[in-house]
Amino acid sequence: MPESAKLNCGDVELDLPVIEGTENEKALDVSQLRRETGLITLDEGYVNTGSTRSAITFLNGEQGILRYRGYAIEDLAQNCDFVEVCYLLIYGDLPNGEQLAEFRSAIHSHTMLHEDMRMFYDGFPRDAHPMAILSSVVSAMSTFYQDALDPANPEHVEICIHRLIAKLPTIAAYSYKKSIGQPFIYPENDLTYCENFLRMMFAVPCEPYEIDPDFVTALNMLLIVHADHEQNCSTSTVRMVGSSNANLFASIAAGVCALWGPLHGGANEAVVNMLTQIMEDDGDVEKYVAMAKDKEHGFRLMGFGHRVYKNFDPRARIIKAACDRLLDKMNIDDPLFHIAQQLEEVALRDEYFVSRKLYPNVDFYSGVIYRAIGIPVPMFTVLFAMGRLPGWIAHWKEMHASKNKRICRPRQVYTGENIREFVELSDR
């Protein structure tokens, strides 16, 4: 007999089925609740609410576990390249040699932007935030590639996937070149994904550019650890928008906008701004920890805390170790890294953080690596988006393939005015 939960409300008694996932997570299936009882559930911020079944990523927040399609994030970060992880997330298995070569080749044939798309950059102000540029240009892709937008057409979806994965680095690098008034650097398809991005970012036409293998290794790891994270805010946004059968470009552009928020992907930029502020304030870490505990202050320790992880974010561990290695290898003594480590040390022995299980998250150390590579702060969240793209795509595809697919449309509890007699303007 499958497990169930009894709900007694007034004279209604209802058995709610309990469903169980492959990692023994359990959920109450309330899909018949309103029909049987007239009741809905209310869960601000969806803290207790599952939106879907998914086979893509597994998180265990208490144990600090993260797996993509069953593979531990530590193994993937250590052994894969980012394009391989894109394939894993989107198609469900690690590719063999032939599948990976075919996927890489498909991506290589789409790395350039349509020349008319470059004119968008002429219109943006030089100080335009690159996340605004990214969401705008990704959305505009649906105007340039009108030949393949149908979510129900597998061939259309496939070429949209290749175009997005191939073009995001180009779109991102062009936004950086625009901001510094340098000429755009075209992609070079004999380079790897990360090599190509670094060259488009930092090369100039008048001299050779030497790609640093340590930067490539660090960037590859960062993209992999950002690649998916189950039903986070931006992924849920991509699913929500995609559920209306909007095209993939529109859905991804919406995800970029959601990621931009400082409580989500924008936190990596906010962390470095916070660490810089502390450094300029005589490195007074204790002062900022006290501010973060004082509700009146409204200040939060950016890069700390997580809706799911109530233990160390496994990605933060991987990034912090890579940070150590890269700075050591480059012989960089970044004061922000020292301040971040002090902040972590002070916070993790403070009852306020310990009792709320607030640990460093993926955004806490990533900015220090981006700085070492030479990525400017406003571009940090753009790199998060580049990493998260395969996860967004995988969830969009899974949503469309689901036999339960329907448009996402939550209910509400109305708390406004009851009916009122209309009053003519002359009588108000």
By CB under 6 A, name the binding residues for ligand SDX: 45, 229, 232, 263-265, 267, 292, 300-308, 356, 358, 361-363
Q: In the complex with ligand SDX, which residue's Cβ is closer, 118 or 356?
A: 356
Distance CA 428, CA 260 (A): 42
For residue 129, the one-letter residue type is H
Question: Which residue among 81, 212, 313, 363 is the active-site one?
Answer: 363
- State in angstroms the smallest separation of the CB of 154 from ligand SDX: 28
Question: Minimal distance in Å, beta carbon 358 to ligand SDX?
Answer: 5
What 8-state DSSP symbol labels residue 113? P
Q: Which residues contact 236 (CB under 8 A, 6 or more apart)?
A: 46, 51, 258
150 in catalytic set: no
- Least distance in angstroms from the C-beta of 65 to ligand SDX: 13
Give the nearest distance from C-beta 266 to ligand SDX in angstroms. 8
Nearer to ligand SDX, 132 or 290 (CB): 290
CB 391, min distance to ligand SDX, A: 8
Q: What's the CA gap between 128 and 179, in Å, rounded?
A: 8
Instruction: Based on the residue annotation, tell me whether 363 is a catalytic residue of this protein.
Output: yes
User: Whole-angstrom Cα distance, residue 307 to residue 89?
Assistant: 22
Which residue among 129, 162, 226, 306 is the active-site one?
A: 306
Nearer to ligand SDX, 95 or 390 (CB): 390
Q: Which is nearer to ligand SDX, 88 or 292 (CB)?
A: 292
Neighbours of 188 (CB within 10 A): 13
Distance CA 8, CA 287 (A): 50
Please count the helices (runs of H) and the strands (runs of E) in the chain: 18, 6
Q: Minimum Å distance from CB 249 to ligand SDX?
A: 21
CA distances from 345 to 6, 338, 359 (A): 46, 11, 10
Helix runs in 110-153, H state only = 118-123, 130-144
Residue of this chain nearest to ligand SDX (CB atom): 305
Q: What are phi and psi of 140, to 5 degrees?
A: -70, -20
- For residue 133, the Cα-to-chain-centroid distance in whole angstroms is 17
CA distance 347 to 349: 5
Strands in 26-28's sheet, in edge-to-edge order, are: 4-9, 12-20, 26-28
Please say which residue, 151 or 387, places its beta carbon nearer to ligand SDX.
387
Q: Which helix (H) or strand (E) holds 83?
A: helix 82-91
| 130 or 305: CB nearest ligand SDX | 305
Q: Which is nearer to ligand SDX, 55 or 263 (CB)?
A: 263
> What does R_g of the chain's alpha carbons equal in angstroms?
23
User: What's the CA gap between 410 and 395, in Å, rounded?
Assistant: 19
Active site residues: 306, 363
